[in-house]
Chain A
Amino acid sequence: MRVLVAFFRDALDNVTAGSLRYHVWMGFLTFMMVLGAYAYTVQLREGLAVTGMYDYVSWGLYISNFTFLVGVAAAALMLVLPTYIFRDTDFVRAVLFGEGMAVAALVMCLAFVIVDMGGPARLWHMVPILGIFNWPRSMLAWDVIVLNGYLVINLTVPFYILYNHYQGRRPNPRVYLPGVFVSLVWAVAIHLVTAFLYAGLPARPFWNSSLLGPRFLASAFAAGPALMIIILTVIRRTTPYTIADSTLHKLGLVVTGAAQVNLVMLISELFKEFYWPTEHSRSAIYLFFGLDGHRALVPWMWLSLSLVTLATVVLTVPPLRQRTPVLLTASALLFVGIWIEKGMGLIVPGFVPEPWGRMFVEYAPTWVEWTVTLGIWALGAWVFTILAKVAVGVEVRYQRLCKGDAAADPSPAKPHLISPASPT
Chain B
Amino acid sequence: MVVDYDWCIGCRYCQAACPYDGRRFNWRTPHVPVDEINLNQHYLGNRLRRKGVMEKCTFCIQRVRQGRLPACVDACPTGARVFGNLLDPNSEIRWILEHKKVFRLKEDLGTEPKFWYYMD
Contacts and interface: CB of A to CB of B under 8 A. Distances in A.
B81 interface: no
A48 B24 CA distance: 13
Contacts of A351: 16
Contacts of A48: 10, 25, 27-28, 52
A63 B77 CA distance: 44
Contacts of B87: none
A355 interface: yes
A134 B29 CA distance: 27
B13 interface: yes
B27 A54 contact: yes
Contacts of B109: 202-203
Contact of B52 (A47, A55, A59, A350): A47
Interface in A26-63: 46-49, 53-55, 58-59
Interface residues of B, number: 28
Contacts, number: 85
Interface in B28-60: 28-29, 50-54
A116 B16 CA distance: 14
A125 B6 CA distance: 10
Contacts of B28: 46-49
Contacts of B97: none
Q: Chain B's interface: helix, strand, loop or mixed, by majority?
A: loop
B18 A203 contact: yes
Classify chain A: how many residues form its interface, as a range.
20 to 34
B9 interface: yes
B115 to A, nearest CB: 14
A122 B27 contact: no
Contacts of B11: 113, 116-118, 140
B29 A204 contact: no
Contacts of B8: 118-119, 122
Contacts of A140: 11, 13
B16 A203 contact: yes
Interface in A331-366: 350-351, 354-356
Contacts of A122: 6-10
Contact of B27 (A49, A113, A123, A203): A49
Contacts of A203: 16-19, 109
Interface of A: 46-49, 53-55, 58-59, 113, 116-120, 122-123, 125-126, 138-140, 197-198, 201-204, 350-351, 354-356
